Structure 1
């Protein structure tokens, strides 16, 4: 089983949404964690927009990256530039991948809820492509359908 860590600054939205999608698409073939360099708590709008797409992240907690230094990860994915800058100091031989997503709720000219939905949709696409391309090519990717 592969282990994936998703890092963001606050572990409050982007990394939480990525954890939800990656775990859904990988199903039981991966353990997915998320953490932040300065955790702020999971944002209610992140929980809301994920629920709109059938993914429940209401049980997620916002954790500091130090909590996971002893876990041998296969992949460490940074989803914001600040986390990427601090990621080289994360003690892991994991493959490091960076994909910066906009900070939801902080996009000029876009209302907060729309911003969260747009970022959620970008993260969903990235997550599905990541699971398909990295190591599950021969196995079907869970499409996220909730039964």
Structure 2
């Protein structure tokens, strides 16, 4: 147990933040953990946690990443912590929680639009979640180039 705690301290830490910690930050957490979980300790949180979105789980499962065991967490859980990388994934977070966002060595922001679930067609909703997953995957490859999606790189070659 002591060795595990020591390994955790050696890793850089990443916190992904969005409004509800149900889709965007959960997808980002799953993507980075799958690519570089050995290098980073990865967390996600929201200003108003709303539970894990089943469409996010489905979209990630399609690419072989299981996020079904991840849980929605409140940003308040992490406010006293310092992170090496803090990543906000929606514009609302910066406005609504600017004083409670933990500071980090590096701060990144991109306002990903949350897929709408107002549509009646479930297939169309899933298409939006796939688009979010793919856009986020590409962006994370730019932000964390050592953790780029190797499968996507192989397809481009």
Distance 1:120 1:93 in 2: 25
Higher helix share: 2
1:142 deviates by 6.3
Please say which of residues 8-17 and 92-101 is displaced more in the overlay.
92-101
TM-score, length-scaled by structure 2: 0.79
Q: Matched residues in 1 for 2:151 and 2:63: separation?
A: 9
CA distance 1:25–1:105, shift in 2 (3 Å) = same
Could you tell me which runs of 5 or more consecutive residues in structure 1 were left unpaired when the two chains were aligned: none
Residue 70 of structure 2 is matched in structure 1 by 60
What is the DSSP-based 3-state SS (H/G/I as helix, E as strand, rest coil) of the residue aligned with 2:34? helix
Name the structure 2 match of 1:4.
14
Contact 2:21–2:45 (8 Å) recurs in 1 = yes
Structure with the greater alpha carbon radius of gyration: 2
The answer to whether structure 1 residue 82 and structure 2 residue 92 are counterparts is yes
Answer whether contact 2:86 2:104 (CA < 8 A) is retained.
no
1:143 pairs with 122, 141, 150, which one?
150
Q: After the TM superposition, which residues 33-52 of structure 1 pair with which residues of structure 2 at under 5 Å, given as runs?
A: 33-52=43-62
- Cα RMSD (Å) of the superposition? 2.2
Question: What's the TM-score, normalizing by structure 1?
Answer: 0.84
Q: 1:23, CA displacement in angstroms?
A: 1.4
Offset, 1:24: 1.7
Note the residue ranges of structure 2 that are not aligned, 5 or more in a row: 1-10, 153-157
1:27 and 2:37 aligned? yes
Report the alpha carbon displacement of residue 92 of structure 1 after superposing the two structures with TM: 2.1
1:110-121 alignment runs, 5 A limit = 111-121=124-134
Q: Tell me the CA shift for residue 81 of structure 1.
A: 0.5
